[in-house]
Structure 1
Amino acid sequence: MSAYLEAVVRPEQHVNPVLRHLGVVVSRLDREEAVLACAVTPSLTQGAGVLAGGIIATLLDEAMAHAILARLGEVRIATVELSVRYFSPVRSGDDVAARAWVYREGARLITVEAELMRNAETLAAKAVATFMRV
């Protein structure tokens, strides 16, 4: 495991400012999948009181990137396409977990899938993304 991955799984990590700012912890990280979790606070919600769609997309994107890093090691990647489908609202006080796994790995492009669960029981969103080795 790379130095970055060893550091990002620590409860008080300082290597990923986005995850730290959102209060996200990496609860699982191995060759099979990555799981990122957080408690939804009022500061993450939009005007209607639900978790902002952009925050959901960010959680899914970060989970997918970490699934790639855990599987492939020290590789530099960039998201080139991200599609998110939203199914259920997430509110302040809910707990969410973004689980991601590598679906297909090509020479240059990597396809990854992810899902966001609300309170461990309700599917809130699903995503598929294509990453490129850079």
Structure 2
Amino acid sequence: MDTAPYLSRIADRQPGANPLMDFLQIEPVKMGPQEVQFCLRSSGDLAQGAGLVGGGILATLADEAMAHLCLFHLGDGKATVTVELTMRYLKPAMPGDTLIGRAFPVKMGRTIMHVEAEVLRERDNECLARSQAVFMAVGK
């Protein structure tokens, strides 16, 4: 992966750069080596049977923010894979909520990276979930 051009395409919101982000309509808010923020405007299409936004959607938002943060710490030719991810759900997200996934570095090695994230409801900055993850660099 050519990391810098890829991150530029994400920052510029170019369709096709990340099909998963396109599908969920996740948009960048802030991108850098110390913090990544992605936004997801939830809809009824993301609700589970009880009418709440599915927990996997929040986990995906956190995972994408953390993975992209890791890319700022890698050289070209490398990508990341999630080795382990934990989520703590604190409050429910409702369809119609705008969600912000914020990722921060904890310990960034050359191969293994420890990252944390939180998922916030934009309108009141309420923390809905927290995540910790370990990523591994793969590639050349």
Q: TM-score, normalised by structure 1?
A: 0.93
Partner SS, residue 14 of structure 1: coil
Tell me whether 1:125 sits opposite 2:139 in the alignment. Answer: no
State the Cα deviation string for residues 65-118 of structure 1 (Å, max 9, x = none).
Answer: 011112334332111100000001000111100000111022421100000001
CA distance in 2: counterparts of 1:22 and 1:14, whole angstroms: 12
- Percent sequence identity over aligned pairs: 36
Match of 1:60 among 62, 71, 96: 62
Show structure 1 runs of 5+ residues with no match.
Answer: none
Match of 1:115 in 2: 118
CA distance in 1: counterparts of 2:34 and 2:73, whole angstroms: 7
Partner SS, residue 47 of structure 1: coil
CA distance in 2: counterparts of 1:122 and 1:30, whole angstroms: 23
Tell me whether 1:94 sits opposite 2:97 in the alignment. Answer: yes
Aligned residues of 1:32 and 1:71 also touching (Cα < 8 A): no
Match of 2:5 in 1: 3
CA distance in 2: counterparts of 1:100 and 1:63, whole angstroms: 6
CA distance in 2: counterparts of 1:27 and 1:4, whole angstroms: 16
Tell me whether 1:23 sits opposite 2:4 in the alignment. Answer: no
State the Cα deviation string for residues 44-74 of structure 1 (Å, max 9, x = none).
Answer: 1111111101111111100000111123343
RMSD over equivalenced CA pairs, Å = 1.4
CA distance in 2: counterparts of 1:42 and 1:104, whole angstroms: 37
Runs of 4+ more than 6 Å apart = none
Q: TM-score, normalised by structure 2?
A: 0.89
CA distance in 2: counterparts of 1:107 and 1:95, whole angstroms: 34
The code of the aligned residue for 2:64 comes to E
Match of 2:38 in 1: 36
The code of the aligned residue for 1:32 comes to Q
The code of the aligned residue for 2:28 comes to V
Residue 121 and residue 99 in structure 1: after superposition, are their counterparts in 2 closer, same or farther (change >3 A)?
Answer: same
Show structure 2 runs of 5+ residues with no match.
Answer: none
